[in-house]
Structure 1
């Protein structure tokens, strides 16, 4: 930011602030406008000033105390514990003098915040420190703890990074916005390697950067002139953490990108969990990982979290708003407002339109939306999923029958999303006697992913959030759930033991512990392999689901090839994706309905049939793009 711009901004803030309040310094940190003051207590006295400033300046505003205006840390610690009700159960207080903040971790953060932020304002008024509140996860999560610890260690460097980003976001646009282009770098007429480039005369935004399940080496077309060099990209937006959208985000940093990533807070944590596991699996399978763990840490350090519904400047000519997509924890429908009211584009990411046990249904209500890039995973004419009640009844029946045969039901499941959905189904079914009470073993990352869900209950469905936060009834802590943490010996013991249910990654049977369960349980007819999620073309899961019983274990210990004699079943209705009807309703009931829809993230038939149906039913322009096409709007 130039001195003139900084000076002008300082003057404007001073005109908006009452004369008795001091404004020491004003600067942008990422999308936020930060006001430093020697009168933080007086700012806290006026509960309306922050909202008034945000509305007037049309920016997210943070007030920070200037150095030397706070109580000592020991005095502040004692006073904060006196102000905050004991029922909040404060776990720790950490002070950061360089930014004048105190991080308060508590079991019940709502009591630290207080009604309409009253308790937080009282803290600032009494001690001069600016409080930031985080929730203690109900289940211990090493991922959440590690991310928080890492970001704490990098707080100084991160502040410098945010200052640089703020200058870029709030610079004057060089050209008038008179066009918008979208280039497809992957994910077209296929499922996987999601990646798109949104560009204006001033800005390049990369949306997602994933791999393709079951197709090693097929990566987004990042080398094409529209995207290269990667240093020319201004920002990355990540819709959700599944690897077909996030796996190659750290690769960007390997090849020179050093800008921001915008996503929700739980998506940031899940991205860290899944990409580190992605590296681990590659190494175990003898493949050369595409990047190193240092690049994962770089991605986390440069992530700027966005809450649902917050309008956020991410470039001089683009504002981003993320909304619940109903797909997995933190998944987002991303709305881009381009120019000064020039054009609006929605990227659906992956969506589930109807509410599930885990999440509220996807949001499709926007101020404006001229174009949409829309997933089509279940876009084929006959892609209708069984309703949830019937689906759950089918799962109950299969598990009961397997239990009666003395067998074990093993379910390949995505660690994020479907596993937690199934845990809720099984916990309730056992509590109500619909299936016998038996152990449910969680293998792979499922337990850790579940812990991350409980760390962010505000992103869960309303009733489930209430159970976790206010009713002290966390279904994920039911006693029948047990983690498989003893490696091969524990798996062999479980496989030779009493009837049980096993939830195991990977969900498409492309590697991970599910391969051990195939080897241990597959040859025995009393056991059941139950598919409840999407199986992409080219994956072992799809081949087994289609009737292939002779399978390769990929050079694992023991025989390279295995004949499955177990019962093989598939139950629809548990996918995190909307089915054909849900996709049509998401587009048809969208307010306002877009003029143009690009159907992506589906095979040839899915994208073609959905594209045709939306055109005929709603009279909108639709396209079934190929990779490496560019569309200009308007």
Structure 2
């Protein structure tokens, strides 16, 4: 922890030992009546154990005030000796829960290490009770903290397996959290003398996103992605960068659960990293599913995966989930705050606060921005957040930095028109999608379009990982757009499930989708046609001109999807062990406007609404032409975007280090003493 700088004096540093001692002293000073049995530094949280569970409720306001004073996350738990037996607690919950809340005993799990009893229910709000009444009642009577999770209407094996893992490995997780806590509250050696960002992937390209933030005191990795445009060394981030040493990393932060941002995170644990990895709860859940599937694909093809299930498990045991708008310590000189990025479920803009008000970086990851007031289309996610306390440097994605795609309304009309045309000629519409985001978008959109008679009723086959990802979506309705959230929570309906939807779970259903007479819509992974069931559908449907293939999301350079979208009429694919040439006779359409990425106008609107304005804008996650176009536009129109002075716009390449602080002696002085 650093003291506030005064003009003409050096920034004073306090040792980690002194800081821990100071925190413990303040806890006993302010919470002296709590009958504290022990205090543990568990990751970014300070865990206080007390003898009397009722005090946790009585002293809640005191704890909040202390947390605010210390600027730390504090959790209070009852001492293990003060907790009731698991048998008594289970019986108490079932017998005293509100009458209209059904609880299956198999949906109640105990975490003895954290002192939590976790309950799955389809009515979490009612179980917790008004003013957390039932939650407080359980704590007072049993000493166990009631943690309620929404039971998704679609069964999710992923959510179940994560809960099981955490229960089985809770002691291991506690040790990991304590080790992480020791590192967070370690002695500060030099403080943030400089701040640099080094692009290890995703600069001058789309894919393998990875950024190293170096403050001299700390090293933080933002995203660890895999490029889906090919395999081999160029698919990996530049782990060979001289600035990157895994044993020096303080933290890894994941913006969202797409493979080009999280795909190689377990690899760090394979090579010895044992620090924390931060992400939102939905990102953890979806990433677990995608990474397991990533391993399975390699194994099925007889190849060695980059990492194993053991490495993924180790990663999960070091995963710390952080909700939006919660400030979390990453290291002695850096704090993290997530806010909604609007891209997919759980996607986050990453705000890194360095020093005591010294410098602030906002990394967008992937964002989607739109005006809620002007929006007339169906949206799955709310728009990206634009309001922050301070932002000195912005790292901005530029996927469509030079492209103004059609409006969402126009895109919907084009898609409906295409489906109607293909329906009339008796064909099938094949829609390749990523399992996360675009798949759920298409499911909800087409289900509503059929209900509103905008397109004819026909089977909608859903294949790949889409079912499981959708199940995770249904567990977090509070993070979806207001329209979808209200439909699920207030109207009791599920827009992800309609009578026309057929979830493909075996080969017979896949054959039905391909060979059954009559029109149909097939939504399948992978979105760029680099693998997954989409290839089987394509092989069987490509040579029939009645069918159509429609791309509704970004196609990276070098992928099969990009080649077909660009007009290739013949493609070679393996079929039954042999290489075969397939003629692309089906209609190919590319409909822009559905992307989860902000287009050029939306990126500029995001910049216009962003407060406060950054002094430095670093562009990444875009092909060369897109980056150049966006950079020149920002430089030319800075005043119309609301900047008081021209921002410095930087377009670095991979391995290029950009010094953000001090940028110049003048800027250094302004930042240090502002």
TM-score range, shorter chain: over 0.9
Q: 1:122 aligns with which of 123, 131, 137?
A: 137
Check the 8 A contact 2:17/2:187 in 1, yes or no.
no
2:346 and 2:659 mapped to 1: Cα distance?
Answer: 30
Q: d(CA) in 1 for partners of 2:464 and 2:490?
A: 30
In the TM superposition, residue 286 of structure 1 has moved relative to its aligned partner by: 4.7
Distance in 2, Cα, partners of 1:524 & 1:160: 59
Counterpart contact for 1:6–1:27, Cα < 8 Å: no
**Take 1:307 and 1:186, find their aligned partners in 2: how far apart are those partners?**
26
Q: Is 1:10 aligned to 2:30, yes or no?
A: no
Structure 1 unpaired stretches of 5+ = none
CA RMSD of aligned residues (A): 1.7
Aligned to 2:64: 51
Counterpart for residue 84 of structure 1: 97
SS of the residue 1:90 aligns to:
coil
Q: Structure 1 residue 559: deviation in Å?
A: 5.2
Is the Cα–Cα contact under 8 Å of residues 10 and 25 in structure 1 kept in the other structure?
no
2:111/2:167 contact within 8 Å kept: no
Q: What is residue 211 of structure 2 aligned with on the other side?
A: 196
- Retained in 1: the 8 A contact 2:352–2:360? yes
Question: What is the distance in 2 between the residues matched to 1:32 and 1:118?
Answer: 25
1:332 is aligned, of 348, 362, 370, to 348
**What is the alpha-carbon distance in structure 2 between the residues aligned to residue 112 and residue 50 of structure 1?**
24
Secondary structure of 2:110 counterpart = strand
Bigger mean CA deviation after superposition, 392-401 or 102-111? 102-111
Structure 1 partner of 2:557: 537
Name the residue aligned to 1:169: 184
Alignment of 1:114-513 (within 5 A): 114-217=129-232, 218=234, 219-228=236-245, 230-354=246-370, 357-380=379-402, 383-487=403-507, 489-497=508-516, 498-513=518-533
What's the counterpart of residue 622 of structure 1? 649
Correspondence 1:29 to 2:42: yes
Tell me, in whole angstroms, the C-alpha distance in 2 between the residues paired with 1:279 and 1:234.
26
- Note closer, same or farther for the CA distance 1:97–1:286 as it changes in structure 2 (3 Å cut): closer
Give 1:122 deviation, angstroms: 2.1
- Does residue 72 (structure 1) correspond to residue 85 (structure 2)? The answer is yes
Q: For the Cα contact (< 8 Å) 2:282–2:476, is it kept in 1?
A: yes
Measured in 1, the distance between the counterparts of 2:34 and 2:187 equals 29
TM-score, normalised to structure 1, is 0.96
Q: Distance between the aligned counterparts of 2:296 and 2:109, measured in 1?
A: 33
Give the deviation of 1:82 after TM superposition: 4.0
SS of equivalent residue, structure 1 residue 492: helix
Answer yes or no: is the 8 Å Cα contact 1:190–1:603 preserved in 2.
yes
Contact 2:573–2:581 (Cα < 8 Å) also in 1? yes
Q: 1:529 to 1:124 in 2, by over 3 A?
A: same
Cα offset, 1:557, TM superposition: 4.3
CA distance in 1, matches of 2:112, 2:648: 55
The question of whether the paired residues in 2 share the 8 Å contact of 1:23 and 1:38 is answered with yes
- Rounded Cα–Cα distance in structure 2 between residues aligned with 1:574 and 1:606: 18
Alpha-carbon distance change, 426 to 74 in structure 1, aligned in 2, over 3 angstroms: same
Counterparts in 2 of 1:49 and 1:138: CA distance versus 1, 3 Å: farther
- Bigger CA drift: 180-189 or 275-284? 275-284
- Secondary structure of the residue aligned to 1:198 is strand
Cα offset for 1:495? 1.6
Encode CA deviations 1:194-242: one digit per residue, 9 max, x unaligned. Answer: 00000112110011111112221111111222012x1211110000111
| Distance (whole Å) between structure 2 residues aligned to residue 49 and residue 94 of structure 1 | 30
1:482 CA displacement: 1.1
Q: Post-superposition shift, 1:379?
A: 0.8
TM-score (norm 2): 0.90
Q: 1:127 to 1:371 in 2, by over 3 A?
A: same
Asked whether 1:111 is paired with 2:126, we answer yes
- Separation in 2, partners of 1:420, 1:521: 23
